[in-house]
Amino acid sequence: QVQLVESGGGVVQPGRSLRLSCAASGFTFSSHGMHWVRQAAGKGLEWVAVIWYDGSKKYYADSVKGRFTISRDNPKNTLYLQMSSLRVEDTAVYYCARWDNDKRFDPWGQGTLVTVSS
C-alpha cells in the first residue's frame, strides 16, 4: 500500500540547520510531485513547499523562502527538506504528502516533530 514515512525531526537551536526525510513506498515515486506541510501545536495546517515529479520546479511559502530547500532522490524514493536558519516559529510537526491528480494531497505521512529552542 502507499506509504510515506518522515524522519529527521528533533530539537535544534535557533539559527541551526536540520534535514528531514520522507521515505515513499507502494507507488511510482518518480511520477508524483511531493509536498511538505507543517502544523504547530494547536494550530492549523501551513503549506511549506512543493517539488515537481522530476525536481524541475520548486515553490515555497513566503515564510520559509530562502531558508528551506526541498529536494528529492527518485532512485532512492526519498523526499527531503533542508531547513536552515531555523527560528522558534518553525517549531511544528512536518508532514510530507503526495501530490496526486487534480492538485490533491493524498496520502500524508504520520509527521515528524521539529522543535526549535535554545
Partner 1 sequence: QSTLTQPASVSGSPGQWITISCAGTSSDVGDNNYVSWYQQLPGKAPKLMIYAVTSRPSGVSDRFSGSKSGNTASLTISGLQAEDEADYYCCAYTSSSTFVFGGGTHLTVL
Q: Does 37 bind partner 1 (CB under 8 A)?
A: yes
State in angstroms the smallest separation of the CB of 70 from partner 1.
12
* Of 75 and 103, CB closest to partner 1: 103
Task: Please identify which residue in 60, 68, 80, 94 interacts with partner 1, judged by CB under 8 A.
Answer: 60
* Of 14 and 59, CB closest to partner 1: 59
**Closest to 97 measured CA to CA, from 41, 39, 40:** 39
CA–CA gap between residue 112 and residue 101 (Å, rounded):
25
Quote the strand ranges of 1-118, DSSP E: 3-7, 10-12, 18-25, 33-39, 45-51, 58-60, 68-73, 78-83, 92-100, 104-108, 112-116
Q: Does 54 bind partner 1 (CB under 8 A)?
A: no
- Contact footprint for partner 1 (CB under 8 A): 35, 37, 44-47, 50, 57, 59-63, 95, 100, 102-111
